[in-house]
Amino acid sequence: MNAYRVTEHRKRWIILALITIAIACLLSPWASSHPDGLERVAEDHGFLHQETAVNELAAIPDYEVAGIPWAAVSIGLAGAIGIMIMAAVLFGLTRSLTRSGGDRNEQRTDGLEGIDRI
């Protein structure tokens, strides 16, 4: 059976992932500064001033890495760290889910079944 496998094109997927990460990290500092989501609702209804400090347990509070004076670098680095964390989590989940698959123990053949080798 000739099933399409992502691993056959591993180099292509790695290159595409690296390009995507680079673009995301380089363009994230120029994302819209206008509020969205809950912040927009709070602004529209007049209770934005009641917000409290960012959670002390947050990994990357306010989408910026602390201690870096350049905002563009700080935001881009926060994006890169977020991508690495999510990639590690997804890699771990997919590895644990695929290890329980039954087709791992199948014998691989080279398509020459029934042909005697000399």
pTM equals 0.58
Question: What's the pLDDT score for residue 87?
Answer: 87
Regions of the chain with pLDDT less than 70: 1-8, 53-54, 100-118
Q: DSSP string spanning 32-81?
A: --S--THHHHHHHHT-GGG--PPPTT-SSGGGS-TT-S-HHHHHHHHHHH
Question: What's the pLDDT score for residue 5?
Answer: 62
C-alpha torsion sign, points 104, 110, 114, 118? negative
pLDDT digits (tens, 9 = 90+) for 63-85: 888 888 998 888 889 888 888 88
User: What is the Cα Rg of the chain in Å?
Assistant: 23
Question: What's the pLDDT score for residue 100?
Answer: 65
Question: What's the pLDDT score for residue 62?
Answer: 77
